[in-house]
């Protein structure tokens, strides 16, 4: 028996069409801001309580701690605001892709034949803005493989239904 193994070099690759990616809903930026400011005020409150109750004597450094927190949160706020526009997704006939990142760009593509199941989740703030998180799970992995936050609830349901019919069909 003769084994005719071939391993041909691939020299042209399909491209993800940049202009076809859809942006995350702008209302999702409000959800990000709400979560951000809750964390910011909680952090400032903890420093204030520690300083006020003298649990740990930080009086000499409290001014600098407040300044450091404000600077850190301002930088993080700017990164969130600028990076938001980089979050995009694309559903094609055989796969779903998501890209994000400001300094470190990440693009994840999951072919439909690898998908085990799909979930749609809504947190309290997302529910208020009628937004959802589409979570895709693939075979052989215990965690989620793709999470797209900030999609309209109706769009998330349509995408889930489309992918489910592609998987079943």
- Range with the lowest mean pLDDT among 25-39, 61-75, 139-153? 139-153
Instruction: Write down the domain spans for the chain.
Output: 28-83, 86-168
Q: Give the residue-averaged pLDDT of 46-62.
A: 79
The model's pTM = 0.81
| pLDDT (0 to 100) of residue 66 | 87
The answer to whether 29 touches 84, Cβ cutoff 8 Å, is yes
> What is the edge-to-edge ordering of all strands in the sheet holding 106-111?
22-23, 88-91, 95-100, 106-111
| pLDDT (0 to 100) of residue 1 | 61
Q: What is the CATH number of domain 86-168?
A: 2.30.29.30
Q: How far apart are CA 26 and CA 131, in angstroms?
A: 10
């Amino acid at each position: 028996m003769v084994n005719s193994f071939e391993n041909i070099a691939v020299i042209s690759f399909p491209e993800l069409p940049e202009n076809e990616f859809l942006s995350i809903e702008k209302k999702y930026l409000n959800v990000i801001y709400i979560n951000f400011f809750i964390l910011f005020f909680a952090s400032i409150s903890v420093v204030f309580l520690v300083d006020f109750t003298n649990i740990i004597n930080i009086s000499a450094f409290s001014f600098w701690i407040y300044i450091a927190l404000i600077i850190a949160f301002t930088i993080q706020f700017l990164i969130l605001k600028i990076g938001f526009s980089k979050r995009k997704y694309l559903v094609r006939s055989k796969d779903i892709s998501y890209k994000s990142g400001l300094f470190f760009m990440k693009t994840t593509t999951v072919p439909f034949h690898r998908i085990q199941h799909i979930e749609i989740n809504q947190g309290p703030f997302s529910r208020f803005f009628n937004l959802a998180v589409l979570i895709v799970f693939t075979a052989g992995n215990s965690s989620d493989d793709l999470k797209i936050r900030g999609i309209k609830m109706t769009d998330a349901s349509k995408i889930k239904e489309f992918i489910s019919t592609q998987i079943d069909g």
